[in-house]
């Protein structure tokens, strides 16, 4: 479990891009498998640390994205590291439900370059049509 910092000086050590975002990589804390990459802004990073759940910034929807809000596939943060340049985060997470990708796979990195084509190397664990429920219901 991560501890909540008492001050926000640590936020100033993050190199936010021109859009106020930083790349955040989620890695399975047990297996070490990279699950996904998403973006965080200051608010989402602060909320993630205070709640212990991964909360990202959705660039396509221009709003906070609480991982697992509609699918139930929440990420429980075990630790967060900042890279040497200060422009990327690595989060060790417990992936609830074993699915991180919106395609129903364990990882978003399921395609591998084979010759001159990207080939799917991982089976769908759960049909996305049955995984997502409307948050308006």
Q: What are the pLDDT digits (tens) for 75-106?
A: 999 999 999 999 999 999 999 999 999 999 99
* 53 annotated as a binding-site residue: no
Q: How confident is the model at residue 5 (pLDDT cuts 50, 70, 90)?
A: low
pLDDT of residue 9 exceeding 50:
yes
Residue 84 labelled as part of a binding site: yes
Does a structural domain hold residue 11? no
Q: Is residue 42 part of a domain?
A: yes
Gap between the Cα atoms of 56 and 40, Å rounded: 5
Is 101 marked as binding a ligand?
Answer: yes
Domain hosting 28: range is 17-127
DSSP 3-state assignment of 28? strand
Give the total number of structural domains in the chain. 1
pLDDT of residue 137: 35
- Residue 136 in any domain: the answer is no
28 is in an annotated binding site: no
Q: Where are the beta strands (DSSP E) in the chain?
A: 22-28, 34-40, 55-58, 63-66, 75-82, 88-95, 111-114, 117-120
pLDDT over 70 percentage in the chain: 91
Please indicate, yes or no, if residue 117 is contained in any of the structural domains.
Answer: yes
Q: At residue 134, does pLDDT exceed 70?
A: no
Q: Tens of pLDDT along 38-57? A: 999 999 999 999 999 999 99
The reply to whether 137 falls in a domain is no
Q: Which CATH number covers residue 43? A: 3.10.20.810
Residue 133 lies in a domain: no
| Residue 111 counted as domain residue | yes
Mean of pLDDT values over 14-35: 98
Is residue 1 one of the residues assigned to a domain? Answer: no
């Amino acid at each position: 479990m991560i501890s909540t910092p008492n001050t926000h000086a640590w936020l100033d050590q993050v190199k936010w891009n021109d859009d106020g975002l930083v790349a955040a990589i989620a890695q399975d804390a047990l297996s070490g498998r990279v699950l996904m990459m998403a973006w965080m802004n200051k608010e989402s990073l602060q909320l993630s640390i205070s709640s212990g759940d991964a909360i990202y910034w959705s660039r396509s929807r221009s709003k906070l994205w609480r991982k697992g809000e509609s699918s139930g596939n929440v990420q429980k943060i075990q630790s967060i590291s900042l890279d040497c340049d200060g422009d990327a985060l690595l989060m060790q997470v417990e992936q609830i439900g074993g699915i991180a990708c919106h395609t129903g796979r364990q990882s978003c990195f399921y395609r591998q370059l084979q010759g001159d084509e990207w080939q799917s190397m991982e089976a769908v664990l759960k049909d996305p049509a049955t995984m997502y429920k409307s948050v308006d219901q």
